[in-house]
Amino acid sequence: MNFGDQQATKILIWLVSSRRNRMSGTGGLRKGDNITVNGAALWDDILHTARFGGTPKGGIRRLTLTEEDRLVRAWFEAACRQVGCTVTHDSLGNQFARRPGRDDSLPPITIGSHLDTQPTGGKFDGIVGVLGGLAVLRALHASGHETRHPIELINWTNEEGARFAPAMLASGVFAGVFTEQEALDKTDRAGIRFEDALVGIGYRGSEPCGQHPVSAYFELHIEQGPILEAQHKTIGIVTGVQGIRWYEVTLTGRDSHAGSTPMTMRADALLAAARMIEAVNQVALAFGPDAVGTVGLIESRPNSRNVVPGEVFFTIDLRHPDDTVVVRMEEAMRAKVAAIAAESGVGLALDCVWDSPAVHFDPACIGAVRRAAESFGYPARDIVSGAGHDAAYLARVTPTTMIFVPCAGGLSHNEAESAEPGDVTAGANVLLRAVLDADARLDA
């Protein structure tokens, strides 16, 4: 069976299960609650947009503010205009697709995520949220349903942080965590400034980032973990995001000849880094099952096979749902790293470059998602996000929550990332109904 046959089979199975789910939903629907998204069109969008930066292994390499990013942004704008939306972008390139409401003076109910990916990313991380939001706009347009609030779909710039660190950079500026100038001055590993890259693809808008009004924010996303799939749940009702801290480490030893420098007389920066990487792992294990620690990027210099490495740069990522535990993890990590540097005879520079405290989402928005999942009869459970998302920053400035759907094996940030059409459609349906719920209840 080829890939196309497999997808056709998945969609056929989804059509049957989707009909059953609609039939098992709860009664008492309000006006507009019988609207559902077009799951087949949503799946087509996922497969189509995967071409922008598509990799031979079936994933996507679509780094922020690259040509691939420009192409998918242009597609996004055209698709939103086809359903009657106006599309604008602000000074950091965040895109806003607006569908008017009956009272267009009200601040919009917003939905969104991101279209940038990791260097070896998949077709679903972030993308499901943007394209699921587009499916919501299409459903409203096709039905002719008029919401009280304007509805806006947002594509956030540089959520991944793969090219310009830290992650969630533009939504962070939007929420006042970073200044706009801080973001514009960020450089990638090649020394290219964020502002220059943004201007280069033609998406530097005039509206200052953060001045766009919002009344609520909903974000659909794959779980990026194994819990929903393992427990046979279709919907994750996200109650918050765990605390995250990122660090950059530079070790300075001494370049020397690999053949003529005795082992006892070396200042090997890479050897010290290897010991520190193991120490990060030990710290995470010591703080229980909810703690995680990762070294995901490492650069050795001069990176020659017969030279003892004289300098190493690497990153550390620490996470836990409890901010007090993150602080204790940092203290333990710093102590271990400093001791290893002293024992190895290498210089140490360790900087915290991003601190994203744990987030608790808005109870009213969570309630809207819970009612939406119940109305369709989808199996659901409460869940805390292990990954960071733009919603974590939006929660600082507006009522916010997220909706999770399962991904195969919990795998994400990987070209093999996968999700089922029926689950993606279910998530978009919950997103649609949660937005309509919020539209009826906000300011009422």
CA–CA gap between residue 13 and residue 8 (Å, rounded): 9
Closest CA to 329 of 283, 388, 278: 283
**What letter does residue 398 receive in the DSSP assignment?**
S
Which residue in 322, 169, 178, 318 sits closest to 240, CA to CA?
A: 322
Distance CA 423, CA 383 (A): 16
Instruction: Point out which residues pair with 222 in neighbouring strands.
Output: 405
Tokens of 172: 């962070």
Nearest to 317 by CA among 133, 167, 213, 438: 167
Q: Is 248 exposed, middle or buried (0-12, 13-18, 19+ CB in 10 A)?
A: middle
Q: Rounded to the nearest 5°, which phi and psi values hold at 303? A: 60, 50
- C-alpha atoms less than 13 angstroms from C-alpha of 371 in its C-beta half-sphere: 19
How do strand 311-320 and strand 243-252 relate by DSSP bridges? antiparallel
What is the end-to-end Cα distance of the chain in Å, rounded? 53
Find, among 224, 248, 260, 230, the residue nearest to 404 by Cα: 224
User: Scanning the structure block, which residue is given the tokens 């965590």?
Assistant: 177
Sorted by sequence, the CB contacts under 8 Å of residue 298 that are 6+ apart come out as 273, 277, 312, 313, 314, 315
Please state, in angstroms and as integers, the Cα–Cα distance from residue 211 to each residue in 40, 207, 408, following that order.
Answer: 36, 7, 38
The beta strand positions in 5-126, using DSSP E, are 86-89, 95-99, 109-114
Task: Give 315's strand partners.
Answer: 248
Q: What is the Cα Rg of the chain in Å?
A: 23
Which residue spans within 70-180 are E strands per DSSP? 86-89, 95-99, 109-114, 151-156
Q: Residues marked as binding?
A: 114, 125, 160, 221, 413
List CB contacts of 274: < 8 A, sequence separation 6 or more.
Answer: none
- Residues of the binding site for Zn(2+): 114, 125, 160, 221, 413
